[in-house]
Structure 1
C-alpha cells in the first residue's frame, strides 16, 4: 500500500510539471491567429537601427518562433531578433512570419532631413555635417515663408555643403535686398567655401518700388551654387524703377545650371551678375530677362569687367550642352564697353564650348548685347559685336 501511494504521488508531480511547462513554452501545435508589428512603416537614415516587436495571438506562440526576412538587404537588413539596420537609400519590406501568418513593415532609408518651417530649415543648415562629395540632404515638406523680422541673410551657409530638394514647394517672403539696412533681406548667402545645390524648388524674390540692388542669392568668393531640375527663380515683381538681381556670383565663385533650371523676370537689373573672375557653367537650364520696360535695361546676364591699364578681365561662360531653343541671353558688359574710351581692348572671349560640346551659329544667336538708350548708357550693339571664333563666342569693337 505504501508503495502504491508513492507511485501516485510521483505520477501527480510529473503531471503538474508537464502542465506548468505548457504555460511557459511555445506549443508548436497551436495555430497562429494573427501577428502584428509595432511599426508598419519606418524611415531611417543610413546606419540607423530600430527594433521591430511582434505581437502574436495567441500569446502562447512566442516571439522566438518568428522568422524575419528583408526583400532588399542592400537597403535594410533584419536580425533574428527583429533589429532593423538601414544600409543605403531606398525602400525595403521587412517580413515577420509566425507559421502560417505574417506581418510586414515598409522601411524607407533616406538621408534627407525633412523641414517644414524657417526655424527647422535654419537648424538643418547650421547642423549640416556633409562634405563636398556627400552633402547634407534637406527636403522641404511645405511652403516656407520668410517673415519680415528675419535676419539680413535669411539663411547663411557658412562653409557647409548642402543639397536642398524643395519637394516642388516655394520659398518666398519679404524683400531680399543687398542694402545694409535692418528691413532689407537676402535669401541665401554662401560664404567660406560653402556649396549648395537646389532642386525642385521655386523661389520668389519680391521687391518694393524704388528699392535698389536687390538680390536673392549671394555666392561669395570660392563658393559654389548648383541649380538643378525643377528649380525656378522669379527674381522680382516690382516696376521699372526696381533694380533686381537674381543671383550674384563673386570672384572665384561658381554657378552651375543643370537640367531645366530657370531664372527669369528681372526688372531693371540682371538675373545673374558675375564678378570678373567668377565662373558660370551652363550644363542646361536657361536665364531669361523680362520684356524690356520703360528703361529698356532688362538683361539676363551681367558680366563684370575689371580694367587694369591695358589688362581687361571678364568672366567666361562655359556651355557644356546644347542650350534650350528659347534661351535669350541679354549680355551686359557695361564696364567693358566703357573701357573703350581709355583702353580700346581687343577681342575677349565671353562664351566658350568644351571638349565635349562645340558651339554653333545657333548658340551665337542666343547671346546678344543689351541695347539701352537712356540714362547716358551706350548703344552696345552700335560699338561692339559678338562673333563665333572656333569654339568660342567673342566680343570686339566694330
Structure 2
C-alpha cells in the first residue's frame, strides 16, 4: 500500500475535487481508439509516475491509468491498493508505430522501474505494485522476452530481473481522479515522486543513459560526457550538467533584445522565442512560455528550504533554470533561465542553422 504519510500529505478526499465516480464502468478495451494506434500495457508501481513518463515520449498519443491482472470485475482504487484483488496498478499506452516502436517503449519502461524488486516499487509495497509487461500478441511477447533477456545479461543490476511477462487481460480504467494526476495535482505529485525514491534510484542506476530513448529518436541528442567537457566552458558544464547557477546581470543573454530563438546549448533543441522574453528585473533571461510545452520537463527541486520547480530540456536533459508563478499575462509564468544553458539563433539565421520550420514565428 502507498505510504500512508505520503499519501495523506498529497491527497484530499476525492469528493472535495468533485470526483464522485468510483469506477469507469467499462473496460478500456471497449472504448473506441484511433485505428492507426497500437496498444501496449505496463505495470511499474505507482501509475501516476508511469503514465507521466510514457507521455513524455514522441509518438505516444495517450496513456491511461488503471488496473489489470486480477479476477474481480470493476475494481476500485481502494480495493486494489489494499491488495487481495490480484490486480496491478498499470497503464495502457496508445502509440503510433510509425513514430515510436514497441521496442522503444520497452527501453523506456526499464528506465522507469526497479526490475529486481518483487515486493513492489520504491515506497509502494505489495503485489499490486510489482512490475510486469502485459503483451497483446506474439510479436510483443517475443520483443519483451528479448528485451528482458538483454537487460539481464547487461550487468546493469546485481540481482535477478523479476519483472513478469504476462498475456494481456481485461484492463479497467482507474477513477477519473487518477487520470493525468501529475498534471492536475502537480505539487502533490512532485512531492510524492521525490519522496518515493524513484528518481534517485533511476539517476543512480542509469546516470547519463536515463533518457536515451527520446534523444535517439530525434535529430536533437545529448553528447556523452567526454564530448560535453570539450564542447562546453566550465561554467556551461557546471550549469547544464551539475545544476549550477550563473551570476545575475553577468551572463550572456540577460539583456539580449534581438529577435530570434533560444536553443539548448547541449542538444540544439529549440526552447524559447524572443517574442516571449521580457525583462523580469532578476538579471537572468526570463520567458513567459516555451516555444513548445513538450520541450520542457518540470521536476521538483528541494535544494533550498522552499521547494522550487526545476526546468530541464527534453532531449538534452540540461538543467535550464526554474519556473515561477510571478510572470506576465497571459500565462502568469516566469521561466528564469541560465544563459549558460542557451544558445541564441537570430531570426536571420534560422534557415542556415537548421530551424527553418520556426521562421513562421517571425513573419508579420
Q: TM-score, normalised by structure 2?
A: 0.24
Larger radius of gyration: 1
Comparing both chains, which one has the higher relative contact order based on Cα–Cα distances under 8 Å and sequence gaps of 6 or more? 2
The structure with more helix, counted as a fraction of residues? 2
Q: TM-score, normalised by structure 1?
A: 0.22
The structure with more strand, counted as a fraction of residues? 1
